[in-house]
Structure 1
Amino acid sequence: MTDNAQSGRVGYRDIADDLRRKIDSGELPPGSRVPGENDITSRYGVAPLTARHALDVLKSEGLIVAKRGSGTFVREFKPIRRVSPDRLKATASWGAGRPIWTTDVGTRPRTESVFVEVEQPSAPVAQVLRLDDGARVVVRRRTYVVDDKPVQLATSYYPEALVAGSAITEIDTGEGGAYARLRELGHEPVRFREELRIRMPREAEREALELTQDMPIVLITRTAYTIDDQPVEVSEMVLDSAAYVLEYKFTSQD
């Protein structure tokens, strides 16, 4: 099958499939140079735009990475293994003064583009947080990056009345992050609920995560509750599906 209207012509998906096969088989091992646009144009007999689209597909899948001034290479990248519920245990992460994501296995992301604002919540967020009409929320937005590639967008919502004046309203929340600050405020999260959904990205999400149109994202919505069952946070995480492995641990015991 090809993506060109003319029968018998090679399409960008055919080229991406061929290069992907070489990567998966080890013919193009991690760190090796991938044929560039000019090489692909010559080798497959296609237009430069077709060659560019083929490389874009592999970039969006996290298989290759472009290094400015050097070329394009097979990515030496270990997927981030997001282990639940271990990552939310206070003793393993935030309660010990560490960010939650330090419990994830694999390449550690760095945090970029942190924004903190006070806003009127959407109806779904207000409902989950059980807010009165007119109540506002503190919103924390940030991007997580690995090897200069954005892998996750995260947006967290907290009742303004609950966290006003705390470090949760600052760019740097301090050791242990927002959950440690909630505990200091007397609202320690002890129970969490996560909903996971796979969908196609919105345009803003696609651009922010540098995805192609046909790459899905993983949307995880987490709600944190106190021992009194009070919701204190809603967090929406948009994950590049090519960058993560989601692992869940549980037992058959009550």
Structure 2
Amino acid sequence: MIQLDQLDRSDHRAPYVQIAAALREAINAGRLGPGDRLPSESELTQHYGVARMTVRQAIQELKTEGLVMSEHGRGVFVRAAPVVRRLASERFARQHRERGKAAFLAEAEKAGYVANVDSIHVRQAPAPAPPAERLGIKAGDPVIVRERRYLANGEPVELATSYIPVDFARGTAITENDTGPGGIYARLEEAGHPLERFVEEVAARMPTPAERRALQLGPGVPVLTVVRTAFDTAGQAVEVCDTVKAAYAYVLEYDFPAR
């Protein structure tokens, strides 16, 4: 078993908090690396001289932070998902679309992780009220809905749902699973909607049960939500993208002038 400090009985923190802190420090210091198995409940119980429930509380703390994950019948392992650094000020640069890279793939190329989409569903449906308001259309007006799940190094990290008015998507690959090089935004620009700006709203919340399953999140792990509206040079909103991100996997970076 890796070297772990004993409990400090003079510490005001509960034993499970101290155990979680020791394991967290081992992970952050690299003594427990991505994919490594944590000491078993029995080993930790014996090492610390505490009840099994105390050890389970400590492990739950780390699961809630997204640091570890359980594999049934095998144990608890350090989560191997990379941190996705999302630089908002350049991720939608036209140069990426011209190179045939959608935003998520461009980020992956820069950060060095393997990115892919393992689930895509495309359909025409009535627009729900929130995206309809952002698009400047009526709730219930027809839109193309594109739902997908993004993976980083094989780990699910993001769910994204785009809403595009049917009039803008008609006759383009936006209505197909594969939108082609450069993604949705490249197709919109080819259809006569050169993009001018984006507006993003960022928030945090707990996931729904369906989101928890899709992102393989443990109990208590929050998500980040980013709702992005894309505008063309005429000031028309042409797409709303509602994303749900595993909070442990993301750093959102914004670079803007001080003016």
- Scaled by the length of structure 2, the TM-score of the pair is 0.81
8 Å CA contact 2:230, 2:237 repeated in 1: yes
- Structure 1: 5+ residue runs without aligned partners? 1-7
Distance apart, 1:113 and its partner CA: 1.3
Instruction: Find the residue that maps to 2:235 and give its secondary structure.
Output: coil
Asked if 1:17 is matched to 2:16, the reply is no
Distance 2:221 2:66 in 1: 11
Name the CA shift for 1:41/1:166 in 2 (closer, same or farther; >3 Å): farther
Distance 2:115 2:64 in 1: 17
Q: Number of matched residues? A: 243
The alignment yields a C-alpha RMSD, in angstroms, of: 2.8
8 Å CA contact 1:117, 1:138 repeated in 2: yes
For residue 135 of structure 1, the aligned residue among 120, 131, 141 is 141
- Scaled by the length of structure 1, the TM-score of the pair is 0.82
Distance apart, 1:79 and its partner CA: 1.1
For residue 161 of structure 2, the aligned residue among 155, 169, 176 is 155
Aligned residue number for residue 251 of structure 2: 245
- Structure 2: 5+ residue runs without aligned partners? 1-12
- Per-residue CA deviation, residues 58-99 of structure 1 (Å, 9 max, x unaligned), is 3453433567887654345541110111011111x1232111
Asked if 1:221 is matched to 2:227, the reply is yes
Name the CA shift for 1:121/1:101 in 2 (closer, same or farther; >3 Å): same
Q: Which moved more, 1:103-112 or 1:119-128?
A: 103-112
Aligned residue number for residue 3 of structure 1: none
Aligned pairs for 1:25-40 within 5 A: 25-30=29-34, 32-40=36-44
Instruction: Find the residue that maps to 2:181 and give its secondary structure.
Output: coil
Aligned residue number for residue 94 of structure 1: 97
Q: Which moved more, 1:27-36 or 1:157-166?
A: 27-36
Aligned residues with identical type, % of pairs: 40
Name the CA shift for 1:34/1:89 in 2 (closer, same or farther; >3 Å): same
- Per-residue CA deviation, residues 72-131 of structure 1 (Å, 9 max, x unaligned), is 54345541110111011111x123211111332352332111111111111111111111
Aligned pairs for 1:1-254 within 5 A: 11=16, 15-30=19-34, 32-40=36-44, 42-44=46-48, 45-47=50-52, 54-55=58-59, 57-59=61-63, 61-64=65-68, 72-91=76-95, 93-104=96-107, 105-132=111-138, 134-252=140-258
8 Å CA contact 1:120, 1:135 repeated in 2: yes
8 Å CA contact 1:199, 1:217 repeated in 2: yes
